[in-house]
Amino acid sequence: MIGHIYRLAAGIAIVFAVAHHFGKIASFWTFFSLFGGMLLGWSLQSPISGFAAWVLISLKRPFRPGDRVQFPNLGLTGDVKDIGAMYTILDQVGGSVGSEEAVGRNILIPNAML
């Protein structure tokens, strides 16, 4: 695994050296910053959408801690324990045994799914 990192660093160094040799270092940095921005946006897509969903849940208040919610597409019923910035924590009700009592199993539902 470390060998892959060394090869990647060597490849970047070679591209940087070639760009410097031909006097295209500015275009190299432009390309690198565009690619880095795209990679950063792609990697932060899920946390940002989860945080935006938390803001929406906090403003609209479709449910509060203590409410019982159902997710028929997931086959899940539970009592809301906590609403965090990325996840809503449910105390599962029923589970494999069809009952109306809490099982005691905490389930994390990403806010972006809500």
Among residues 84, 93, 54, 66, which one has the least CA distance to residue 106? 93
Phi, psi of 90 (to 5 degrees): -110, 145
Domain chopping of the chain, boundaries:
2-43, 46-113
Q: What is the pLDDT of residues 14-28, one digit of tens each?
A: 888 887 777 777 777
Tokens 């892959």 correspond to: 4
CA 103 to CA 99: how far, in whole Å? 9
Q: What is the pLDDT of residues 22-76, one digit of tens each?
A: 777 777 778 778 888 888 888 899 889 989 999 999 999 999 999 999 888 888 8
For the whole model, what pTM was predicted?
A: 0.62
Chain Cα centroid distance, residue 12: 28
